[in-house]
Amino acid sequence: MNTYRLDEITKRALEGPFMDEKDFDMKLMKRTRELVREYNIRYDPKEPVCTDDSVADDVYEAAKRLLLEMGFYCQTTKRSIMFEEDEIRGALRSLPESIVLGTGKDAVPMYMRRVEDPRPPAIHAGPTGTLCTEGEVYVKTMRSFAQEDVIDSVGAGTLATIDGFKIRKGAPQEFRAARVLARWAREAISQAGRPGMHINDVAVVSPEAKLCALNPAYGLRASDGIIVSQMIELKTSFEHLSLIEHLQSYGIHIGNLMTPILGGYSGGPEGTAIVNVAEHIAGAICYSASYHYCSLTNVKNLNGTDRPGLWAISMVGQALARNSEIMSVYDCYCASGPGEEMLLLEAAAGGIAASVSGMNLMGCGSCGGKLVDHSTGLEARMLKEAGAAAAGMRRSDANGILNKILPRYEERLDISKAPKGKTFQELYDLASARPKKEWQGMYEKVVGELSDLGLELSI
Amino acid sequence: MSEAQLFEELAKAVYSGDDAKAVELSKKAISAGMDPLRAINEGLMKGMGRVGDDFSQLKIYLPEVMLAADAMKAALSILEPEALKRGGSAVQKSRVVIATITGDIHDIGKNIVAMLMRANGFQVYDLGRDVPIDELVKKAEEVKADFICASTLLSTSMPYMEDLIALLKERGIREKYLVMVGGGPVTREWAASIGADGYGDDGDEAVKAAKELLQRRVSQ
């Protein structure tokens, strides 16, 4: 995106139709319900991955109409940034078919995948959305992801403290945390022998704090990425657009993070899919993002691996893969924790559903992000391996496997009851950042079970 | 239609978000000389209770909850004034001051809790998002609140919840309020560790916890 477009977006945020935010939410809720009915979009629990192309196309059309009618709401000005249909078409036409993650020998391509695409998905991994202990444990946790050779990019966990000081949003320690998180991520990928590997974010909240991580020598480089969030649902603010302004000039990849709430304002899986596709389009135009994180979150269980959640993300992936060049990344958020077979099964199901639907991958979050140090490289490996094994698979075959995996965990997704597992320190050897026998053995057992279902993963 | 049947129809009207039907039945209850307070408790609240239970199990979603809350509000506008006429203090509501706390602009969780509390008979003062802790305390003092509720999705805003309780203690007013916390990264154990009185995994549990806390306070 050039400066002219950002100026135009700002102008529209200042001059678009004024609406109280609560009214915007209500209007979005009502209009989404109407569109679900008008296009007769129906979630079928028997098919976690919808196999009907026309439904994907309807979801895309409904999403485009929703965005054209509602606009992209700016919380700062309480006005909607409105678009014309031609502008959407024009902006989307300029998107690339592939991008490069990282630099030098560690650079990897990330493709715009299509439905049932035989190319394996790229994976952005890391302790996403998980609280981590600062210092060596953090570096080793990151290294556990980086040294999995199938992983293409590492992200960041959230620190509760820095130098023993509790991090409060907007306080000086948050700015220090941004610098240190970037430095520790560099250290982790260097330790793993992949110094040019793509780092996709530093997990601090304030946009101005994120800027502290940009440093070609010790922090994030132009070959890395920074996540810019949308607010729920279909909203942005000058804070976020201002961050875009600087990231553009730095030349770094921008990740458009969306957290559509299944069960929230958009309603069930059908409405959530429509709203989230609209959010992807808005992010492609206003954030000029290289990739788009679909971090679907269940309103109660904070996960995205239940049956309606998988149906919704699959629908989003298919709608975009069939109708646009917008690279959607399924952010796999799980209810259970590391050291549990259930987490591996959740990751496998997520990887399969996303892969056959034309998406790339990110993950895994665990335990709804509530527990400290509950994140390891091994579950991310499962997510990627399952996604790679499902690449090129027919959606109907994917459903056959998913319908055998889902019954093994879907009764235990209640966040208060899902098995929490263990911490990174309990499951990994800290010196080598390799999984201990217990966790590795469990991984191999699940790989064997998936093989019996027809999904061949490497160990 | 018997009283029991009418109350059941009221509950159904609320559950299905049919505000016109809820208003019609409320008027019918009054003209038939039924006790408006019982119509509220055995009709509207019962319907809203079912809504809360089903939302908790994700049999229905937020839009259905919002429509039910609207139907309840419409019916209350008929039944409440009548109840006040007949007894007044019988419809006294517990007061709740709620906000998404400092540093956080994610408010859907807080909005759900506020809506469910309102629908369950609490008088809710929703201060919005990114609200400094002193503003929560100031409002609670002003409206003589029973509850102060704080929500966040961000771990970096959780320390402000600890600050809230510290401020109440510092001002010597901690015991005046029931403090509840919740949100994505917040756990029951953490809530207890900072000295909060209540916590809910979700909106429905938050409402149940608030009712239990009130009950306990009354029986003390």
A67 in a structural domain: no
A75 in a structural domain: no
B56 is an active site residue: no
Beta carbons of B159 and A232 less than 8 Å apart: no
pLDDT per position as a tens digit, A139-178: 999 999 999 999 999 999 899 899 999 999 999 999 999 9
Question: Which of B62, B186, B208 to mutate to test binding with chain A, by most A CBs within 10 Å of its CB?
Answer: B62
Touching check for A161 and chain B: CB below 8 Å? no
Q: Which residues from chain B sit within 8 angstroms of residue A267, using beta carbons? A: 61-64
Residue A231, domain extent:
98-452
What is residue B84's predicted lDDT score, i.e. its pLDDT? 81
- For A24, residues 6+ apart whose C-beta sits below 8 A from its C-beta are A70, A73, A80, A235
Q: How far is B155 from chain A (nearest CA, A)?
A: 7
The domain that contains A308 carries what CATH number? 3.20.20.460
- Kindly tell me if the per-residue pLDDT of A61 is higher than 70: yes
Interface contacts A/B by beta carbons within 8 Å: 83
In angstroms, rounded to a whole number, what is the distance separating the alpha carbons of residues A223 and A103?
Answer: 6
- Residue recorded with tokens 């510290």: B166
- Kindly tell me if the per-residue pLDDT of A269 is higher than 60: yes
Query: Mean pLDDT across the stretch A414-437?
Result: 95
Of B56, B104, B186, which has the smallest distance from its Cβ to A169's Cβ?
B104
Q: Buried (b) or exposed (e) across A175-207, using 16+ Cβ within 10 A?
A: bbbbbbbbbbbbbbbebbebbbbbbbbbbbbbb
Phi/psi class of residue A357: alpha, beta or left (left: φ > 0; alpha: ψ in -120 to 50)? alpha
B106 is an active site residue: yes
Q: Which residues from chain A sit within 8 angstroms of residue B106, using beta carbons? A: 231-232
Q: Which residues from chain B sit within 8 angstroms of residue A369, using beta carbons? A: 184-185
What is residue A365's predicted lDDT score, i.e. its pLDDT? 92
Touching check for B201 and chain A: CB below 8 Å? yes
- Kindly tell me if the per-residue pLDDT of A383 is higher than 80: yes
What pairs with residue B100 in β-bridges? B151
Beta carbons of B61 and A299 less than 8 Å apart: yes
What is residue A119's predicted lDDT score, i.e. its pLDDT? 98
Find out whether A204 and A178 touch, Cβ atoms under 8 Å: yes
Q: Which residues from chain A sit within 8 angstroms of residue B58, using beta carbons? A: 263, 298-300
Touching check for B132 and chain A: CB below 8 Å? no
A71 in a structural domain: no
Kindly report the number of other CB atoms within 10 A of residue B76's CB atom. 22
Touching check for A27 and chain B: CB below 8 Å? no
A30 in a structural domain: no
What is residue A458's predicted lDDT score, i.e. its pLDDT? 77
Beta carbons of A169 and B184 less than 8 Å apart: no
- Kindly tell me if the per-residue pLDDT of A123 is higher than 70: yes
Q: What is the DSSP string of A124-190?
A: EES-TT-EE-STHHHHHHHHHHHTSTT--EE---EESEETTEEP-TTSHHHHHHHHHHHHHHHHHHH
Q: How far is A265 from chain B (nearest CA, A)?
A: 6
Kindly report the number of other CB atoms within 10 A of residue A250's CB atom. 15
A126 in a structural domain: yes
Find out whether A256 and A286 touch, Cβ atoms under 8 Å: no
What is residue A459's predicted lDDT score, i.e. its pLDDT? 66
A314 in a structural domain: yes
Residue of B nearest to A308 (CA): B58
Q: What is the pTM of this model?
A: 0.94
Q: How far is A98 from chain B (nearest CA, A)?
A: 33
Q: Provide the domain count of chain A.
A: 1
Strand A328-333 versus strand A360-365 pairing type: parallel
Beta carbons of B103 and A168 less than 8 Å apart: yes
A68 in a structural domain: no
Q: Which residues from chain A sit within 8 angstroms of residue B61, using beta carbons? A: 262-264, 267-268, 299
Touching check for B61 and chain A: CB below 8 Å? yes
Question: Which of B156, B181, B186, B199 to mutate to test binding with chain A, by most A CBs within 10 Å of its CB?
Answer: B156
B157 is an active site residue: yes
What is residue A301's predicted lDDT score, i.e. its pLDDT? 84
Per-10-residue mean pLDDT, chain B, length 220: 94 96 96 92 92 90 92 92 74 87 90 90 93 97 97 92 97 97 93 96 90 87
Q: Which residues from chain B sit within 8 angstroms of residue A33, using beta carbons? A: 63
Touching check for B53 and chain A: CB below 8 Å? no
Closest C-alpha to A27, from A59, A73, A87, A95: A73
What pairs with residue B1 in β-bridges? none
Q: Is ipTM over 0.95?
A: no
Beta carbons of B62 and A167 less than 8 Å apart: no
Show the domains of chain B with their CATH numbers: 3-91 (1.10.1240.10), 95-219 (3.40.50.280)
Could you say which residues from 42 to 71 on chain A have a Cβ atom under 8 Å away from some Cβ of chain B?
Answer: none
pLDDT per position as a tens digit, A312-321: 999 999 999 9
Of A33, A205, A369, which has the smallest distance from its Cβ to B156's Cβ?
A205
- For A141, residues 6+ apart whose C-beta sits below 8 A from its C-beta are A127, A132, A157, A373, A375, A376, A424, A433
A416 in a structural domain: yes
Look over chain A and give the mean of its residue pLDDT values, rounded to a whole number. 96
Query: Mean pLDDT across the stretch A102-131?
Result: 96
- Kindly tell me if the per-residue pLDDT of A180 is higher than 70: yes
Find out whether A285 and A91 touch, Cβ atoms under 8 Å: yes
In angstroms, rounded to a whole number, what is the distance separating the alpha carbons of residues A299 and A302?
Answer: 6
Q: Which residues from chain A sit within 8 angstroms of residue B201, using beta carbons? A: 300, 415-416
Touching check for A5 and chain B: CB below 8 Å? no
3-state secondary structure of A251: coil
